[in-house]
Amino acid sequence: MASKEGGMAFSRKSYKLTSDAEKSRVTGIVHEKLLNDYLHRVFSSPDHGPAAATSRKPLNFQNLPEHLDQLLHVDDEEEEESQEQVEGRLGPSTVVLDHTGGFEGLLLVDDDLLGVIGHSNFGTIRSTTCVYKGKWIYEVLISSQGLMQIGWCTINCRFNQEEGVGDTHNSYAYDGNRVRKWNVTTTNYGKAWAAGDIVSCLIDLDEGTLSFSLNGVSLGTAFENLSRGLGMAYFPAISLSFKESVAFNFGSRPLRYPVAGYRPLQDPPSADLARAQRLLGCFRAALSVELDPVEGRLVEKESSEWRLQGQPTILLTLAHIFHHFAPLLDYEVQDCLKQLMMSLLRLYRFSPIVPDLSLQIRYLRLTIAILSHQKSRKFLLSNVLFDVLRSVVFFYIKSPLRVEEAGLQELIPTTWWPHRSPREGKEEMREETSEERLRRRAYERGCQRLKKRIEVVEELQVQILKLLLNNKDDNGGEASRYIFLTKFRKFLQENASGRGNTPMLCPPEYMVCFLHRLISALRFYWDEYKASNPRTSFSEEAYVPPQIFYNGKVDYFDLQRLGGLLSHLRKTLKDDLASKANILIDPLELQATTMDDLDEDEEPAPAAAQRPMQALAVGGALPLPRPGWLSSPTLGRANRFLSTAAVTLMTPRRPLSASEKVKVRTLSAEQRTREDIEGSQWNEGLLVGRPPEEPDQPLTENSLLEVLDGAVMMYNLSVHQQLGKMVGVSDDVNEYAMALRDTEDKLRRCPKRRKDILAELTKSQKVFSEKLDHLSRRLAWVHATVYSQEKMQDIYWLLRVCLRTIEHGDRTGSLFAFMPEFYLSVAINSYSALKNYFGPVHSMEELPGYEETLTRLAAILAKHFADTRIVGTDIRDSLMQALASYVCYPNSLRAVERIPEEQRIAMVKNLLAPYEQRPWAQTNWILVRLWRGCGFGYRYTRLPHLLKTKPEDASLPSLQKPCPSTLLQQHMADLLREGSDVAPSFLNSVLNQLNWAFSEFIGMIQEIHQAAERLERNFVDSRQLKVCATCFDLSVSLLRVLEMTITLVPEIFLDLARPTSEMLLRRLAQLLNQVLNRVTAERNLFDRVVTLRLPGLESVDHYPILVAVTGILVRLLVHGPASGTERATSVLLADPCFQLRSISYLLGQPEPPAPSTALPAPDRKHFSLQSYTDYISVEELAQVEQMLAHLTSASAQAAAASLPTSEEDLCPICYAHPISAVFQPCGHKSCKACIDQHLMNNKDCFFCKATIVSVEDWDKAANASATSSAA
């Protein structure tokens, strides 16, 4: 039973008692004599009989508390001494689990040291007390029905992660999961247990037997002939696997199933029981006597007939009794509260969905009534709520399994679904008829009725959270909000640690609802605080200050920071922390993290993943010396379970001068006090270490900042994935609507005589209609609970919070690296959710400040996708992909164009950096999107040959209409034109990647073709097909980037004054000829694979790659200046791979026509750009014809003018060009193109590997004449 301090505090002032001299004879209630007789009658001492009535001390309400203390006095010391001297038992009188040394593995132990959760493979723990004689019993509540072995062991038993209780000599266990008993060997025993069952463990050391009971039913004797005698004493013990949990009762509360003759290990509190008996006697006496103030006497009365009539004397008397009695009932009241709350949770979770949601509303109102009581609320927060799933169940509105169950047919009698028509491969809304309009409006009215009923439930859920976030109830203990913060942080930690490895403890659908209710309650308190503190900000301006990320006040577990691991950042940025934030990292913690880093290689992976968690019992000594203050018994849970990181934050209690620093160490959630969070006069709490870039005025209460930080983390954990998952209902509606429309079209076209087909089609039509009715009503429920306008505003608010947080963090310079990665992830994902998940019912464009938000997000993506402070590969890829998606949509692309010019230029400069050692494919995709709509035949949304097929997802960025950006193209042109090193390095990397991508593509289609031609049945790996298609798409996009570059800055290739232009032009010509020859050869490999039309290779076709090459050639040979055109023509024709037939192929001419003859009639259908008049304009076709005529003429002239070249004079590398360069000092020779290309990546000679110092021009004739002159 609990102590007295837990009760309500009564005082004389609260009673309004009178003691004035002028009222000496009257108490203000009854006469003093009558009150004295009444009080002595009620509070008579059992040691004083009626004879002592004349000598007793007068009683009144002033001295009654003193009299009650004497009446209830019990010698506690004698009781404890008698308990400790019980024969057959050794150990403390209060029996708990031994968390100091009696365990093996990792375990989570509750605050009362009676509950335990397994946190490793097979952890073991025993109690603090053992028995060696007599009959003893204890009980175990099974909270989960998994693998556990419960029983007894001796102190000499040694356990490990594989062997637990019952697996060694002198240890005995019962396993209800496998229904077996264990003592080294195992046999069948007992019955299977389930969650909620109670196992009684009985040991008879007089007879040497051991048995078990399940829910009061004996399972029989399990073991006999136990070892007894000197040194043999048995401890209660348990071994349990990961995430299994139980609660022990050694006798601190009454046993649920006591057994005659067996004694609980812990004796009942006899002193408290004696007090309770005396108080109950006083209560009975108060009920059996009545005051008669008129005659001034006491009247006997039957207690069963007693009625409370508002008499002040009796009310005050009962108040004194219950003031002492209530603390003795603490455990009983708490147990009742716990069971009541669990029952409410169970009823709320499993009750059916009725049309008016009356059952859910009833249970929520009962919960609010319970939580409105301050002491009950704090107890439930500390011991029941947030225990794995329990609390968040109240914030979830489950979706009905069947439409009929929720009465949705009555709420929404008329159903409706969008009617779409496919155009350009993308579904678009068609104009609705008047009948469809009426149905839609009726459906919307039904949806509104449903939404209003759901809003009632949501409002009650928000009220619950408001109660839990109350910080004004700190009288007599810690306020509810700070208990909530501790539990909330633990809740986040448990779900974050399981992410990606084990199933999350809290289902994602629960998280979504919990997040929305939390945001509503958070914003309520935020704006309420603003109303009373004008200097703070509104919730619309909320963000998380950057100092929270590095001052150690908030635990982020093992979540990744932008700059890497926290331990690494604290070592590398400790000087920046000192200079910018006046923070010194405690040297002991730096030493501890250094040791952790050294041990990482030796630590097993599972243990390494769990090591940072603070509430773990870890075997072995702590690596740090234990300060004296950690031994304080008042430290609570943090005193019991400490890892090397779970230490305190030392904060000053006086103002800091500019030169003084704050020494900080990481602080676990369990250790913090209200002052650690909110701060005090000279302590900023969570905001200690404010950088100079941050404003002085506070945003709001510090505790609300931590709640906000937790809300952002929740979205990252599972909310975003769940929002995307729920879109599947809308997709199902669209699928069935299309199927129904197709069926109706077939019905209209089906001949009347085919009654069999008509019957089948009619049956299909009915099935699709019924399914659509069901789905449309279910979609209404999903829209009301997940995708409503209010939910969209919550996600939008969270997006803006993240944007402001990132902006403020960015201003801190290097300290930005401390920000957790999930802030950037949430900013990216929440924008994606607003854009893709809430439409078409709600549009992001309707939100306030929409364009400003787009611009701010664009600025963040443009700046940070190449930010060197961000080191994580995953988050860098996410930023790059987000920017690539951003430039695909007109609204977001315009937002990129609205950011400051300096940022735009910096973004384009980063995009033009060499492609090596970074995600070049995404970078190239961004550049392509900036060009799409401007290139040759590059105005399509989908490829021509794919128009008749339905896209998997029409909302994909790649399927959006072209929206080029001339502004960003101009920035690109300026950078390439002005930077002497920018263009060569960028184009060299583009050409390298093009060579690699196209070569890989050709190699893969060779393998695919060989597999397809084998006679035996072959299956081509779908992953290989996907990689092949990706290489093809990359080749096309790289060609388009080259086309854009030549269009914007043709002089890079054509200006002789540029030293690299000749080399770049030769490489470009070589690659273009290679692509043309591979793609245009008659009945070649490419042509055969295209005709196979394999699934996964849909994008592989002649059109995309040939029009890209044609665009480059047209820009070089038609649009360029005369001198440039002549130079480009000579380089193209000089390449040994050039074939005029490849150019003729573009216009459907398999062979170049002879002069003055007509085109021959083709024997089969050939590719021709002239067949794509919807995609290629007349002007573009004319330019291709002009280019073909020019190359035909130039080719004939070159052939006539060319002279035979000796093989000795050809370059020994390419055998295509004459030798024109000699290397110094080795003297080897090649053509200039080969050596220039080689020197961009390597400085060693082709032949002798000597370092090339210089390259000189070489001419055979000039060199021969010089040699003869010298001779």
Kindly indicate the confidence band of residue 1235, based on its pLDDT and cuts at 50, 70 and 90. confident
% of the chain at pLDDT higher than 70 = 80
Which residue matches tokens 């209660």?
Answer: 236
Q: How far apart are CA 1075 and CA 1097, in angstroms?
A: 18
* Closest by CA position to 34, among listed 317, 303, 321, 323: 317
* Closest by CA position to 396, among listed 334, 464, 448, 442: 464
pLDDT exceeds 50 at position 146 = yes
Tens digit of each residue's pLDDT (9 = 90 or more) over 291-313: 777 777 888 877 666 666 657 88
pLDDT score for 1134:
81
Kindly indicate the confidence band of residue 642, based on its pLDDT and cuts at 50, 70 and 90. very low
pLDDT score for 79:
52
pLDDT exceeds 60 at position 216 = yes
- Within 8 A by CB and 6+ apart from 92, the residues are 84, 128, 129
pLDDT score for 387:
66
pLDDT score for 1262:
61
Average pLDDT of span 754-776:
89
Please tell me which of 336-350, 910-924, 961-975 the model is most confident about, judged by mean pLDDT. Answer: 961-975
Range with lowest mean pLDDT among 318-332, 421-435, 606-620, 657-671: 606-620
Kindly indicate the confidence band of residue 892, based on its pLDDT and cuts at 50, 70 and 90. very high
Average pLDDT of span 1030-1044:
93
Which residue matches tokens 């175990």?
Answer: 140
Six-digit token pair at 817? 């690296």
Range with lowest mean pLDDT among 164-173, 355-364, 945-954, 1137-1146: 945-954
Helices (H), 76-228: 76-84
Number of H helices, E strands in the chain: 41, 26
pLDDT score for 345:
86
Q: How far apart are CA 700 and CA 91, in angstroms?
A: 50
pLDDT score for 828:
95
pLDDT exceeds 80 at position 1187 = yes
Range with lowest mean pLDDT among 56-60, 218-222, 1098-1102: 56-60
DSSP character at residue 843? -
Residues 930, 965 contacting (CB under 8 angstroms): yes
pLDDT score for 1232:
72
Range with lowest mean pLDDT among 39-53, 201-215, 432-446, 595-609: 595-609
pLDDT exceeds 60 at position 237 = yes
Tens digit of each residue's pLDDT (9 = 90 or more) over 571-597: 899 888 888 888 887 666 555 554 444
Average pLDDT of span 890-917:
89
pLDDT exceeds 60 at position 499 = no
263-264 and 135-142: which strand pairing? parallel
pLDDT exceeds 70 at position 15 = no
pLDDT score for 1083:
67
Tens digit of each residue's pLDDT (9 = 90 or more) over 777-812: 888 888 888 989 999 999 999 999 999 999 999 999
Reduced to 3 states (helix: H, G, I; strand: E, B; else coil), residue 580 is helix
pLDDT exceeds 90 at position 215 = yes
Tens digit of each residue's pLDDT (9 = 90 or more) over 676-696: 788 776 677 888 888 988 888
pLDDT exceeds 70 at position 983 = yes
How many CA within 13 A on the CB side of residue 1197? 9
Six-digit token pair at 378? 């704090």
Average pLDDT of span 468-497:
87
pLDDT score for 811:
94
pLDDT exceeds 50 at position 640 = no
Kindly indicate the confidence band of residue 389, based on its pLDDT and cuts at 50, 70 and 90. low
pLDDT exceeds 50 at position 1198 = yes
Six-digit token pair at 749? 């076209």
Residue type, 1261: A
Which residue matches tokens 């590997």?
Answer: 1249
pLDDT score for 455:
93
Between 655 and 1126, the more confident residue is 1126
Give 122's strand partners: 241
Please tell me which of 3-12, 41-50, 575-584, 854-863 the model is most confident about, judged by mean pLDDT. Answer: 854-863
Between 644 and 264, the more confident residue is 264
pLDDT score for 1204:
58
Six-digit token pair at 393? 């169940």
Q: Give me the helix-helix angle, 312-328 and 32-42, nearest 10°.
A: 30
pLDDT score for 401:
62
pLDDT exceeds 50 at position 650 = no
pLDDT score for 563:
92
User: What φ, ψ does residue 399 adopt, rounded to 5°?
Assistant: -85, 135
Average pLDDT of span 1215-1244:
77
Kindly list the distances between the CA atom of residue 727 and the CA atoms of 395, 500, 508, 959, 1118, in Å, as whole numbers in the listed order.
Answer: 21, 22, 14, 19, 50
The mean predicted confidence, pLDDT, of the chain is 80
Between 755 and 859, the more confident residue is 859
Answer whether the bond into residue 840 is a cis peptide, omega within 30°.
yes
pLDDT exceeds 60 at position 660 = no
Average pLDDT of span 418-442:
65
Listing DSSP states for 601-663 in one string gives: TTS-HHHHHHTT-SS-B-SS--SS---GGGG-GGGTHHHHS--TT--PPP--SSPPPTT--EE
